[in-house]
Amino acid sequence: MTNTAMSARFAESDFRVGSVLTRTAKILSQHFLIFFLIGLVANLPSLLLGYGGGSVGASPTGQNAVLLIVGGVLSFVLSMISQAVMVHAAFQAMRMRPVSLGESMRVGLSRVFAVILLALLMGILGGLAAVLLIVPALIVMTMWFVSTPACVVERTGPWTSMKRSAALTKGHRWKVFGLLLLLILVSLIVAGLLQLVLMQVGSTILVLLGTLLWGALWTAFYSIAVVTTYHDLRVAKEGIDIEQIASVFD
């Protein structure tokens, strides 16, 4: 199948949640190892957080605090790096081009500081919205849902990326909100059930490893879903195809 044919296939006239989820699953299944490894690295700090929380052994309080701080910082940084890397990898997959971990890392790392600043800004403003009520927090999360791919693809700054996401989601926010809510609910339900099942075995190590593997899988799926959403919103609102969007990577 040619790139043109694939572009036409993805160039839908409207934004559809079902289409986003279907193609996300397909992209992940076709390039599972690469996306899973990226997600795995991003979730490795969860082991430090698990130990720091005192779930394994009886570490001193001071050591727990250090592990929690280091794990939290590493988790944030690696999560942002993984999202930036997966933006490029997902676009290459949609274009039916080879997905190279090295190339995706190069592109992702070139935007990592902007993505980190973007995440910090969204976190601060989202936190302020949450202080008001849960509804404003959900509203801004919906508006800024595709800020990261906008930042990486269009090479914009944090504030401009958030404004760009707000513009792209306008007119489709109920659908984006539904997608976001579905992703959050599935993540919470599966993670909770997995922890309950593994805790029955009585092995804390097994619980941590199971959480790590699920976190890696979910990070990959969620990140691809965000990229696919960004692509579909641009197609729906701007009438361009995937090659025009991703030409920045060539």
**What is the structure's pLDDT at 52?**
52
CA dist 58 and 164 (Å) reads 48
Q: pTM for this structure? A: 0.86
**What is the structure's pLDDT at 115?**
92
**What is the structure's pLDDT at 161?**
95
**What is the structure's pLDDT at 241?**
85
**What is the structure's pLDDT at 55?**
47
Domain ranges of the chain: 5-9+15-249
Task: Encode 32-68 in three state secondary structure.
Answer: HHHHHHHHHHHHCHHHHHHHHCCCCCCCCHHHHHHHH
Other CB atoms within a 10 A radius of the CB of residue 26 amount to 14
CA dist 93 and 65 (Å) reads 41
Written as tens digits, the pLDDT of the chain (250 aa) is 444 444 444 444 578 999 999 999 999 999 999 999 999 999 888 776 665 555 444 444 556 666 667 667 787 888 889 999 999 999 999 999 999 999 999 999 999 899 999 988 988 887 787 776 666 778 888 999 999 999 999 999 999 999 999 999 999 999 999 999 999 999 999 988 888 887 787 677 778 888 889 999 999 999 999 999 999 999 998 988 888 888 888 7
